[in-house]
Amino acid sequence: MKNHFEIHIPPGQSKERLDSYLTSHIENATRTKVQEAIKNGEITVNGRSIKPSYFVQPNDVIAINLNRPDPPEVKAEKIPLDIVYEDDYLLVVNKPAGMVTHPAYKNYSGTLVNALMHHSEKLSQLHSDEDEEFDIVRPGIVHRLDKDTSGLLVVAKDETTHQKLAKQFAAKTSEREYNAIVWGRFKKTSGVIDAPLGRSKSDRKKVAVTADGKHAVTEYEVIEQFGYLALVKLHLRTGRTHQIRVHLAHINHPVFGDETYGGREIVIGGIEGKKRAEIKNLLEMMPRQALHAKKLGFVHPVSKEMMRFESEMPGDMTTLLKILNP
């Protein structure tokens, strides 16, 4: 399968070899694969064939047409699961931070799907997700959480249940509430972030606010302010990849600890000396983004009952809050 896209080199780009740049800016890429693609004419710069040693220039447009390797078979693995509800049609799982939701490049084992396949022989086999198209089946997965985001997920055991649940997520009739510890003081205690999201044109590993991106809306409410950090409650009106993390970074309140979207940098001024050392200690304690899927609600596809579930924040986030508010 071919993967077609373009990368637009931003103004001010520093001198870097093309093969090195693409390896660090394309998800799942290796330097060998990139070099082969360049030599085979599958990568061009400004419409011209170039060498792997070409140095990228500001405002270059790199056109990429890479082959995707066939993924390996996904196998069941005996991995502990925190199941908060289960019946003949679905189950709700509390995913720990650090666990990948479904198999992908370099993560074909140890995922939630591997664990689910061992737990239940009955899982939906639909190719579906909220905003991505996939070329392999993710058994049972109706919606996802990022690897380092903890919290609640619903899993479908059959295709009919999966379709009905997916329709609720697509129609925004499901209920999802997240808690996050984020940078900065808020001028308003609540608000709506309405900004379209798409793959970053300069780094394919990231999502960015882009004019031609998909519609994305996040509601936030400040629960408590702790000087340079805040605890916020978030509701998703849409379900895009990295939506909460990118939206919060977009309004200059990145999720604390989020390495990809600026959460491991001091983003507010006036923090020096003892405070700076204190923040460094907190970041060492929180090696992930401080984001948790706390509440999940949906109408049961068979019983038609409204189902609501709640998960307590994990230990790393509660410890951080205790330090911030002793």
Positions annotated as catalytic residues are: 146
Q: How far does CA 318 lie from the centroid of its chain? A: 22
Terminus-to-terminus CA distance in the chain, angstroms?
54
Cβ pair 43, 22 in contact under 8 A: yes
Q: How far does CA 325 lie from the centroid of its chain? A: 28
Cβ pair 279, 135 in contact under 8 A: no
Distance, in Å, from the CA atom of 145 to the CA atom of 205, rounded to the nearest integer, reads: 16
Distance, in Å, from the CA atom of 125 to the CA atom of 138, rounded to the nearest integer, reads: 7
Nearest to 23 by CA among 32, 14, 35, 31: 31
- 145 φ/ψ angles, rounded to the nearest 5 degrees: -125, 145
Distance, in Å, from the CA atom of 244 to the CA atom of 192, rounded to the nearest integer, reads: 11
Nearest to 265 by CA among 246, 275, 279, 277: 279
User: What is the token pair recorded at 168?
Assistant: 């609720």
User: What is the token pair recorded at 226?
Assistant: 């702790």
User: What is the token pair recorded at 318?
Assistant: 């509660």
